[in-house]
Amino acid sequence: MKDNFLNYNNYVSVDCVVLGYNEVENKLQVLLIKQKGPEPNTAELFKPQYAIPGDLIKEEESLDEAAARILEDLVNVKGLFLEQFFTFGHPDRVKDPKDADWLSTRRKDPLARVITVAYLALVRIDQINPSAGYFAEQTTWRSIKKIPKLAFDHNTIVSKALDIIREHPEQHLVGRELLPNKFTLSQLQNLYEVIQNKELDKRNFRKSIKNNEYLITLDEKQKGVLHKPAQYYAFKKPKK
Amino acid sequence: MKDNFLNYNNYVSVDCVVLGYNEVENKLQVLLIKQKGPEPNTAELFKPQYAIPGDLIKEEESLDEAAARILEDLVNVKGLFLEQFFTFGHPDRVKDPKDADWLSTRRKDPLARVITVAYLALVRIDQINPSAGYFAEQTTWRSIKKIPKLAFDHNTIVSKALDIIREHPEQHLVGRELLPNKFTLSQLQNLYEVIQNKELDKRNFRKSIKNNEYLITLDEKQKGVLHKPAQYYAFKKPKK
DNA sequence: ATACTTATTGTATTTTGTACAATAAGTGAT
DNA sequence: ATCACTTATTGTACAAAATACAATAAGTAT
């Protein structure tokens, strides 16, 4: 009877596309890590590649918890915006020869299939301080316009994340996640322009954004700027 | 050194929410199976529950392929519309006592965690003939308004599928999937009304739907009906 | 010719999207 | 006090899309 039991087993990982917004330079960047092996000085064992942060899930954690743990380990910040967006599970997604060396330092069975659940995180670059964790030799921000060749199928994963955020920026509350607590409408417009990669008309942008139920006008203006001071705004806390 | 290797292993399954449209009764239903064990006459080993069709993935198949296989085995139809929509991976999602008996007939380690990638399928009820496959004792259609208690977290999975189809019916090409090759605008409107669970104004529906780039007017009308015969329409094939 | 049933269509109104440029409110220099 | 400079802020005309609402058309059956 035991012969009828199914027994396929797989690795399951969570990978995080961390999009960081640099307000000063008005740039949207993605957080990459440089792979490292499990031991110090394992660099000679393989040619490290850039990758997005990810890890196998642990036995007792949910997928959401795994994503939070990976980010916490990497950027030492809790409570970031995190959203599952797609699961990548092609049998060959970790079987490119370019990835064999790194896997051999990390897995008992380097050719085993890995199914990965991908998450999107949004952060303000100036608010976090990524530091190499136990799975990263170093971390680096790269412009979403110049993403290098990444390990595994991570280029595909990043592309899909960008598609999703561009589709519905307002649904992803990008303003709340990527701007300071108080901000001007010009700051908000700059952010939308970077995400959508196109210029927006000031008057029309203001008309449409002012319908946003979450936007509230603060009782405060800019001070000390060399021009007409702008009104500050904030986001209401989400309903739920 | 081997001690540093990570070694968490998991079952990965694909579950399919099959939504079927019954045009005559204008009902949207979900396809459920009644669980069966791997051997004939195993019903006495456990109390079978209703569930959505799903199965562990096989070693060499992609997630999409697994979903197609599961449906093919169940409904003997290939080439259905299929879309991945979410992955459910809570550590306890298969550990409810109600599910222990069935798992014990199917798994070497019934308490092992199972992560499931959920797919949405759209079908015309009159076009397919679901038949009990190797994992189903029997199959049944149930109205989306009266879904019984299901095995595992399948009620949650079905709910999420319904949320998704209601959000963007046109993006899911529900017309193409759920109507005959030629159809009237009233048929199309009925379908949208069932999915969105609200009534639509005929004139406004026609105005908006006629902007649909995929809709074409056929050179044919209804015949033999006891009223003004309606024009037939069809959908163009999707671009790619 | 009439009754019956569903298909089809238009108009007025509101809302939303788009294109486009002048004025306002600060600072710093004179 | 005035002026130059910089960014913030606002309105108007037009087009497009969403909404509310009811009369006429084309068949069949009697």
Q: Is the pLDDT of residue B175 over 70?
A: yes
Once rounded to an integer, what is the mean pLDDT over residues B19-48? 84
pLDDT digits (tens, 9 = 90+) for A211-224: 888 899 999 999 99
Residues A54 and A100 in one domain: yes
Residue B240 within a domain? no
Q: Residue A59 and residue B87: Cβ atoms within 8 Å?
A: no
Q: What is the pLDDT of residue B2?
A: 38
Domain limit, last residue, from B142, B167, B192: B167
Minimum-distance nucleotide, CA of B229 to C1': D27
- pLDDT confidence of residue A3: 40
User: Which of A75-79, B112-116, B223-227 has the lowest average pLDDT?
Assistant: A75-79
For the segment B86-99, the average pLDDT, to the nearest whole number, is 95
- Residues 6 or more apart in contact with residue A65 via CB below 8 angstroms: none
Q: What's the rounded Cα separation, in Å, for the pair A54 and A118?
A: 9
Record: contact B8-A58, CB cut-off 8 A: yes
Tell which of A131, A146, A167 closes a domain.
A167
Residues in chain B: 240
Q: How many CB atoms lie within 10 A of CB A100?
A: 13
Predicted local distance difference test score (pLDDT) of residue B172: 67
Least confident of A55-69, B75-89, B200-214: B75-89
Would you say residue B146 has pLDDT above 70?
yes
Question: Cβ contacts (< 8 Å) between A62 and chain B: which residues?
Answer: 89-91
The verdict on residue B227 lying in a domain is yes
**Which residues of chain B lie closer than 8 angstroms to A84, CB-CB?**
86-87
- Give yes or no: residues B180 and B160 share one domain: no
Provide the H-helix boundaries in B113-152: none
CATH of the domain at B84: 3.90.79.10
Looking at the structure, do residues A35 and A74 belong to the same domain, yes or no?
Answer: yes
Chain A: nearest CA to B222, how far in angstroms? Answer: 40
Across B22-42, average pLDDT: 85
> Distance between CA atoms of A151 and A136, rounded to whole angstroms?
13
**CA atoms of B62 and B116, how far apart (whole Å):** 13
Q: Residue A61: which of B55, B91, B108 has the nearest Cβ?
A: B91
Tell which of A3, A4, A6 to mutate to test the B interface (max B CBs under 10 Å). A6
Please check whether residues A109 and A183 belong to one and the same domain.
no
Tell me, yes or no, whether B155 and B207 share the same domain.
no
Taking residues B33-51, what's their average pLDDT? 80
Bases of chain D within 7 A of a CB of the protein:
5-12, 17-22, 25-29
Instruction: Tell me the per-residue pLDDT of A58-112, one tens digit each, with 9 for 90 and over.
Output: 989 999 999 999 988 887 777 788 999 999 999 999 999 999 999 988 888 888 8
Q: What is the distance, to the nearest Å, from the Cα of residue A13 to the centroid of all Cα atoms in its chain?
A: 15
Residues 21-60 of chain A within 7 A of strand D, judged by CB, are none
For residue A240, being part of any structural domain is answered with: no
Could you tell me if B48 and B138 lie in one domain?
yes
Same domain, A124 and A225: no
Domain span at residue A231 reads 175-235
Confidence at residue B1, expressed as pLDDT on a 0 to 100 scale: 37
User: Of B167, B191, B206, which marks where a domain is finished?
Assistant: B167
In chain A, residues with a C-beta closer than 8 Å to the C-beta of B5 are 38, 106-108
| Residue A238 phi, psi (nearest 5) | -65, 150
Are A89 and A122 found together in one domain?
Answer: yes
Closest-approach nucleotide to residue A233, Cα vs C1': D8
* Residue A230 CB lies within 7 Å of the nucleic strand D: yes
* Strand C: residues with CB below 7 A: A 201-204, 207-208, 211, 221, 223-229; B 184-186, 202-204, 206-207, 225-231
pLDDT above 80 for B163: yes
User: Would you state the pLDDT for residue A233?
Assistant: 96
* Residues A2-23: tens digit of each pLDDT: 344 444 568 999 999 999 999 8
- Say if residue B8's pLDDT is above 80: no
Q: Which candidate, A31, A40, A47, A30, places its Cα nearest to that of A103? A: A47
Q: What is the mean pLDDT of residues B107-112?
A: 83
Question: Nearest Cβ partner of B8 from A39, A56, A117?
Answer: A56
Q: What is the mean pLDDT of residues B166-178?
A: 76
Q: Which residue is nearest to nucleotide D11 (CA to C1')?
A: A203
Q: Which residue has the higher pLDDT, A142 or B76?
A: A142
Give residue A129's pLDDT.
Answer: 84
**By the CB < 8 Å criterion, does B7 face chain A?**
yes
* Residues B84 and B184 occupy one common structural domain: no
Total-model pTM? 0.91
**What average pLDDT does this structure show over B34-48?**
77
A36 backbone dihedrals φ, ψ, rounded to 5° = -140, 160
Contact B47, B161 (CB under 8 A): no
Q: Does B135 lie in the same domain as B33? A: yes
Best-predicted range by mean pLDDT (A47-51, A127-131, B61-65, B94-98): B61-65
What gap in Å lies between CA B216 and CA B235, rounded to an integer? 6
What's the CATH code of the domain at B217? 1.10.10.10
Return the amino acid letter for A127.
Q
Domain count, chain B: 2
Of B107-116, B168-177, B227-236, the range with the highest mean pLDDT is B227-236
Highest mean pLDDT out of A226-230, B9-13, B20-24, B178-182: A226-230
Domain for residue B120, yes or no?
yes
**Tokens 């980010």 map to which residue?**
A71
CA distances from B184 to B5, B191, B213 (A): 61, 11, 16
Whether chain B has a CB inside 8 Å of the CB on A1: the answer is yes
Is strand D less than 7 A from the beta carbon of B166? no
C-alpha distances out from residue A143 to A28, A151, B157, Å: 6, 17, 36
Asked if B76 and B190 sit in the same domain, the reply is: no
Q: Report the distance separating Cα B11 and Cα A137, nearest Å.
A: 31
List of A residues 141-200 with CB within 7 A of strand D: 184-186
Position A2 scores a pLDDT of 39
Give yes or no: residues A28 and A136 share one domain: yes
